[in-house]
Amino acid sequence: MKKKAIQSLAVQTKMVLPSDTNPLNTLFGGRLLAWMDEIASISAHRHCGRVVVTASINNVSFDKPIVAGEIVTLEAKVSRAFTSSMEVFVDVYVEQSNGKREKCNEAIYVFVAIDQNRNPIDVPALIPESVEEKDRFDSALRRKQLSLVLAGRMNPEDATELKTALFPNK
């Protein structure tokens, strides 16, 4: 079975309250990570319909501080499904007073679907449709290899797609 990327879309809107902030009155990074983890896990669950666990959080970028009182929207979507694991992108936007939104953060999560015995279980393949979905799908394999190499789960020599991306002329 295959599922479209858009079927995994999960969206959540939050207002940044004083209890969410650090002494600079901006959103505490750990709070944003928790919000992103939650919405990303909902997206992964929508894709596979199974219990999912976070296997890895890759490439979190905090590009712009978010101030108390601002309205934040998190959008999560599966970018690629492998055998039991799924890569999920979370894009974070701040709503401006004119209604426009500005992207301020991004994170890439990896979730694994597990069965009743906590063993990894196969997930449906993903069909990317938009240009962005196709770009993220195409680059997901090298991110998976980088994540596995960093976790000590893959020999760098075996990370062929990653090596080709990093050293295209070798």
Ligand X SMILES: CC(C)(COP(=O)(O)OP(=O)(O)OC[C@H]1O[C@@H](n2cnc3c(N)ncnc32)[C@H](O)[C@@H]1OP(=O)(O)O)[C@@H](O)C(=O)NCCC(=O)NCCS
Tell me which residues touch ligand X (CB under 6 A): 53-56, 82-85, 110, 112, 114, 120, 144, 147-148, 151, 153
CB 124 to ligand X: min, Å? 12
Identity of the residue, 66 or 113, whose beta carbon is nearer to ligand X in the bound complex: 113
Tokens (6 digits) for 146: 């980088």
CB 162 to ligand X: min, Å? 12
Tokens (6 digits) for 131: 């240009």
In angstroms and rounded to an integer, the radius of gyration of the C-alpha atoms of the chain is 17
CB 14 to ligand X: min, Å? 21
Q: What is the 3-state secondary structure (H, E, C) of the chain?
A: CEEEHHHHCEEEEEECCHHHECCCCEECHHHHHHHHHHHHHHHHHHHHCCEEEEEEEEEEEECCCCECCCEEEEEEEEEEECCCEEEEEEEEEEECCCCCEEEEEEEEEEEEEECCCCCECCCCEEECCCHHHHHHHHHHHHHHHHHHHHCCCCCHHHCHHHHHHHCCCC
Q: Report d(CA 8, CA 50) in Å as an integer.
A: 13
CB 29 to ligand X: min, Å? 17
CB 98 to ligand X: min, Å? 39
Identity of the residue, 16 or 140, whose beta carbon is nearer to ligand X in the bound complex: 140
